[in-house]
Amino acid sequence: MPTPSTDSTITGEDWDGRQLGAIERSRVAFIYVDLTEATTAGAMFTECSFRGVRFNASRHTNSAFINCSFYRCSFFGAAFTDCKLMGSTFERCDLSTLAVTGGDWSFADLSGADLSRARFDGTRLSEAGLAGVKAGGATLRNVDLSAATTDGADFTGADLRGSDLSGINPLTVSLRGAVITWDQAVQVAESLGLHVRPDDA
């Protein structure tokens, strides 16, 4: 997805620790802005571009980043609760310790991202781009992964309990040591063409 065109630019500003509340911005380019420990609640960012922005330890609640692009941004210790990031793209971003609770990240593109210590809980990632993600050891509990693109993804040792794995092809991803439930085990077996039946003996 191409970087959205923007109408204005904010460069190099220090918003460290700022309470941004329900701020609304559309088609703005944020370049090297420091949002460390900043908070939003009910904020709306539409078709914005974030380049080199620090979101470290920031907190976002009921906020939306719709069709935004993130390039070389740092999200160390950042938390998103019930937020919408539909259609947003992440390129060369530090997402390894991201914490996401609820929310809708459908159609978001996180291809190739390091999610090794990230946590997604009850999040919708339907039709998201997860090809090549490094999610070994990550937690993705009760996540909607339906129709997500996961070719080449590494879920080694990840906690996937309660997540919809119907869109995952076990032949194109690494699932060794991943934690799943009995129901999910049946789902994976059936995706491999096996017929799961009760023991009649």
Q: Is residue 10 part of a domain?
A: yes
Amino acid at 15: W
Is 123 in the same domain as 53? no
pLDDT at 201 over 60: no
Please report which confidence band the pLDDT of residue 198 belongs to, taking 50, 70 and 90 as the band edges: confident
Please report which confidence band the pLDDT of residue 115 belongs to, taking 50, 70 and 90 as the band edges: very high
Nearest to 4 by CA among 54, 65, 53, 56: 65
Burial 105-137 (b: 16+ CB within 10 A, else e): bbbbbbbbbbbbebbbbebbbbbbbbbbbbbbb
pLDDT of res. 20: 98
Is 118 in the same domain as 187? yes
pLDDT tens digits along 38-59: 999 999 999 999 999 999 999 9
In terms of pTM, does the model score above 0.85?
yes
pLDDT of res. 168: 86
* Domain boundary, last residue among 73, 94, 115: 94
* Domain boundary, last residue among 94, 129, 149: 94
pLDDT at 88 over 70: yes
Amino acid at 149: T
Is 79 in the same domain as 121? no
Is 83 in the same domain as 138? no
Is 18 in the same domain as 34? yes
Q: Report how many domains make up the chain.
A: 2
pLDDT tens digits along 4-34: 788 999 999 999 999 999 999 999 999 999 9
Q: Is residue 201 part of a domain?
A: no
Is 9 in the same domain as 79? yes
Cβ–Cβ < 8 Å for 131, 112: yes
Residue 69, number of CB atoms within 10 A of its CB = 23
Domain that holds residue 118: 99-191
| Structure-token match 């309990």, residue found | 161
Please report which confidence band the pLDDT of residue 1 belongs to, taking 50, 70 and 90 as the band edges: low
* Domain boundary, last residue among 94, 122, 139: 94
CATH number at 108 reads 2.160.20.80
